[in-house]
Amino acid sequence: EKYSAAPGPIDFASAKKSVRDVALVESLEKMYTSSSPPPLTYEWSKEDQDTKAQLIEDAKAGLAFTQEMIEDTEKEIAFLRTNRTTREISTSDMKEIYPDIAEEVEKEIENREWFKDTLNK
């Protein structure tokens, strides 16, 4: 990687030859050689590690839920493809394929709720 090793030394001699203000380069060289800043280190706090670990676990749980939803959706799509509604399908066939809807329709007929699911109530 580019920054995995320490940087190479600065060539101030070539900078003095190419820059008009030599005093500027000399002052930068003096500052560079005299200063020794402490190295910066970053320590990853335990609470931040725990927070990130919890986020990862939550994401894994969300992934498992999403995979389950994908499987259920694929089953539903396969069911819909095999039981495609066409003009040739009869009401009896519809009742067999969709028993929950058939039960709801029968209940609405018994209760005389003719316009229950229409927009104009």
Nearest to 13 by CA among 1, 2, 28, 3: 28
User: What are the Cα distances from residue 53, in Å, to 46, 62, 65, 116?
Assistant: 10, 14, 19, 51
Q: How confident is the prediction along the chain (121 residues), in pLDDT tens digits per residue? A: 677 888 788 888 998 899 889 999 999 999 988 988 888 888 889 999 999 999 999 999 999 999 999 999 999 999 989 888 888 888 898 898 889 999 998 998 898 887 877 766 5
Residues 6+ apart with CB under 8 A from 25: 12, 15, 16, 19
pLDDT score at 45: 92
Q: What is the pTM of this model?
A: 0.43
